[in-house]
């Protein structure tokens, strides 16, 4: 099996990337169709998942980021203040125009639209979850707040602020709901089904219905207060349970990545042991080889001598093949992939220009690279011509991972594009396109999968931070 590894001399990332591009004659623009890739390569990088203020999508969604607690705290205050101020202004305008009959309904709709606008950059599921939660809580707090004033007035005869208590409770609930949604936001939406968002939307609709029904009952009735308060607490509990589910799924993914790394380490140890045994045999055979080579040279059988030397060279090249690109994660994954490909008879080529240190979470990056390689080798092993080419290189503000492999044309295109493994041990093998894409988006990038001229192509881009660009690329 032949191995291809391009080395690039130290220098700026851009210069090294251009050298890499020239060395392999890559037509980047021809391979990456679409608005995102074209803008990137024309000097107008688009950063999906990045907010105008520089926050990444994962940081913005995970409101309780330990790296920027003050900034997120300011965001909560600003969001709550905007919603409260907008409600006050809207009430004043509607009241001034004399539309008091539909004022509360209109205000609810207006605040929901405003909150949705604040969440416009969040993932769709996150926007639905948080928007539905906010709408349900705002509807349910009204049946609670309206009778509270009368209740206090009945208990304390000197209480004269019944009319003022309702807006205070509503405003406090608005601020608490916004804070709660920021503080307990699901960090990993990969395994939360859309049924969760739909259920939250149904809960929101039930809250609106309960509020509408309470308007036709006596506000002071105790059961109206108790039912609304209980339902109000259940909304928070349901949302919190979704956060726990997402946290559990994230922990499971980390454990799965650790198991994959342990499996790769074990296979690398076995491969090293086999190489050592083979090298030990060659050491004992070296004397015989030298005697035979001397004999061929003495009798002038140069053709046979040359053929024998080529056989020895090929054998030693295969035995001592080891990938060293400077990045420990990529080294471990690629050497494991080489061993796996050799076992399956797959021709595996690499072209690597990877910064030594990357700011990505090691388990995420390992899972991404390992599963791309595993999927490609599995697909190529079922094809007539078994070939895989794996490239990693920096380009402007992004790190690109491009994998090309042959495949079995008898398999349907839908199944091939899904990247679902056909192996029995699914827990330790390739992910589907959904999770690979989600990992890419987590780091401000994207993933694209397509079939062209009988070859499967996977292109993943991850955003490079400034400290990533400063590292050496070998």
DSSP track, 106-162 = HHHHHHHHHHHHHTTTS-HHHHHHHHHHHHHHHHHHHHHHHHHHHHHHHH-TT---H
In the prediction, which pLDDT does 328 show?
83
What integer pLDDT is reported at residue 412 of this predicted model? 62
Q: For residue 24, give the nearest of 390, 386, 415 by alpha carbon.
A: 390
pLDDT per position as a tens digit, 153-187? 666 666 666 667 777 777 777 778 778 877 776 65
With a cut of 80, say whether residue 17 has pLDDT above it: no
Encoding tokens for residue 281?
């045999």
- Give the whole-angstrom CA distance, residue 14 versus residue 133: 46
Q: What is the pLDDT of residues 51-86, one digit of tens each?
A: 333 333 333 333 333 444 445 455 556 665 666 565
Kindly give the interhelix angle for 328-344 and 362-381, rounded to the nearest 10 degrees: 20
Contacts of 56 (CB under 8 A, 6+ apart): 49, 50, 443, 444, 463
Q: What are phi and psi of 446, to 5 degrees?
A: -160, 170
pLDDT of amino acid 459: 94
Based on C-alpha coordinates, what's the Rg of the chain?
31
Average pLDDT, the chain: 68
Confidence category of residue 120, pLDDT binned at 50, 70, 90: low
Q: Cα(400)–Cα(403) distance, rounded to whole angstroms?
A: 10
Q: Which residues contact 269 (CB under 8 A, 6 or more apart)?
A: none
Q: By three-state DSSP, how is residue 2 classified?
A: coil
Does residue 338 register a pLDDT over 80? yes
Q: Which pLDDT belongs to residue 387? A: 95
Q: Which residues contact 238 (CB under 8 A, 6 or more apart)?
A: 199, 200, 203
Domains of the chain: 1-31+322-474 (3.30.565.10), 57-252 (no CATH)
């Amino acid at each position: 099996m032949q191995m291809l590894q391009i080395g690039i001399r130290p220098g700026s990332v851009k210069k090294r990337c251009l050298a890499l591009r020239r060395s392999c004659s890559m037509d980047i623009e021809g391979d990456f169709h679409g608005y995102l890739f074209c803008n990137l390569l024309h000097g107008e990088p688009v950063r999906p998942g990045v907010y105008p203020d520089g926050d990444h999508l994962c940081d913005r969604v995970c409101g309780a980021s330990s790296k920027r607690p003050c900034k997120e705290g300011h965001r909560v205050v600003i969001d709550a203040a905007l919603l409260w101020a907008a409600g006050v202004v809207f009430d004043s305008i509607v009241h001034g125009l004399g539309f008091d009959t539909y004022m509360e309904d209109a205000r609810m709709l207006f605040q929901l639209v405003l909150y949705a606008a604040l969440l416009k950059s969040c993932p769709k599921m996150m926007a639905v979850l948080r928007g539905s939660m906010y709408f349900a809580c705002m509807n349910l707090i009204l049946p609670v707040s309206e009778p509270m004033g009368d209740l206090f007035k009945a208990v304390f005869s000197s209480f004269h602020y019944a009319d003022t208590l309702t807006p205070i409770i509503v405003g406090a609930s608005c601020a608490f709901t916004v804070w709660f949604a920021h503080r307990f936001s699901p960090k990993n939406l990969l395994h939360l089904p859309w049924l969760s968002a739909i259920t939250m939307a149904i809960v929101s609709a039930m809250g609106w219905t309960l509020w509408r029904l309470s308007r036709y009952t006596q506000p002071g009735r105790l059961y109206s207060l108790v039912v609304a308060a209980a339902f109000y607490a259940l909304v928070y509990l349901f949302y919190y349970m979704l956060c726990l589910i997402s946290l559990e799924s994230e922990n499971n993914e980390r454990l799965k990545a650790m198991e994959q790394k342990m499996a790769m380490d074990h296979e690398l140890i076995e491969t090293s042991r086999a190489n050592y045994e083979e090298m030990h045999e060659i050491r004992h055979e070296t004397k015989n080889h030298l005697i035979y080579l001397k004999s061929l040279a003495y009798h002038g059988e140069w053709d046979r001598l040359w053929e024998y030397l080529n056989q020895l060279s090929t054998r030693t090249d295969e035995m001592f093949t080891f990938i060293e690109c400077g990045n420990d994660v990529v080294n471990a994954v690629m050497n494991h992939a080489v061993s796996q490909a050799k076992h399956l008879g797959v021709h595996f080529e690499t072209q690597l220009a990877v910064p030594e240190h990357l700011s990505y979470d090691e388990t995420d990056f390992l899972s991404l690279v390992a599963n791309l390689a595993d999927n490609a080798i599995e697909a190529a092993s079922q094809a007539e011509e078994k070939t895989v080419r794996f490239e990693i290189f920096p380009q402007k503000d992004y790190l690109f991972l491009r994998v090309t492999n042959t495949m079995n044309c008898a398999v349907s295109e839908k199944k091939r594009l899904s990247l679902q493994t056909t192996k029995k041990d699914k827990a330790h093998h390739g992910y589907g396109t959904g999770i690979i894409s989600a990992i890419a988006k987590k780091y401000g990038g994207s993933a694209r999968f397509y079939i062209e001229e009988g070859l499967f192509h996977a292109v993943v881009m991850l955003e490079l931070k400034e400290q990533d660009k400063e590292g050496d690329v070998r």
